[in-house]
Amino acid sequence: MNKKNEDFYNVKELADKFKVHVNTIYHAIRSGRIQAFKVGKGEKASWRIYKTEIERMAAFDARRMIDDIVQKEVDKKVKTIQLQMTKNGDANDYAA
């Protein structure tokens, strides 16, 4: 990458970085999951993705992953409590 392109990835660079096919990146751009902009016109046009966009996506995915982990832990604890209540015959005492 030359100096003026240090803030961007092109589609191939991003695909290489994440070890996916370039069509996966194009699909993500078309679906709006990755925000990108076109450079050039016609057949010579190409897409650029800001590096900050990839950082934003990584942060979002990390938050989503943490939320999923927390939810799974909560679900496990709720199930454990429900099982204990059922064994003790307390389940009907707390029914809504």
Query: Does residue 40 lie within any of the structural domains?
Result: yes
Query: Does residue 93 lie within any of the structural domains?
Result: no
DSSP 89: T
Domain of residue 78, residue span: 3-88
The values of phi and psi at residue 70, to 5°, are -60, -45
pLDDT digits (tens, 9 = 90+) for 51-88: 998 888 877 776 776 777 778 888 888 999 989 888 88
- Nearest 5°: the CA angle 19, 1, 35 is 60
Query: Does residue 58 lie within any of the structural domains?
Result: yes
Token pair of 35 as six digits: 């925000």
Looking up residue 52, the CATH number of its domain turns out to be 1.10.10
The values of phi and psi at residue 28, to 5°, are -65, -35
List 39's β-bridge partners, or say none. Answer: 46
pLDDT digits (tens, 9 = 90+) for 9-54: 999 999 998 888 999 899 989 888 889 999 999 888 999 999 998 8
Tokens 């650029």 belong to residue: 48
Q: Is the whole-model pTM more than 0.75?
A: no
Q: Could you give the number of structural domains in the chain? A: 1
Q: How far is CA 93 from CA 25, 86, 87, in A?
A: 53, 10, 13
Which three-class secondary structure state does DSSP give residue 66?
A: helix
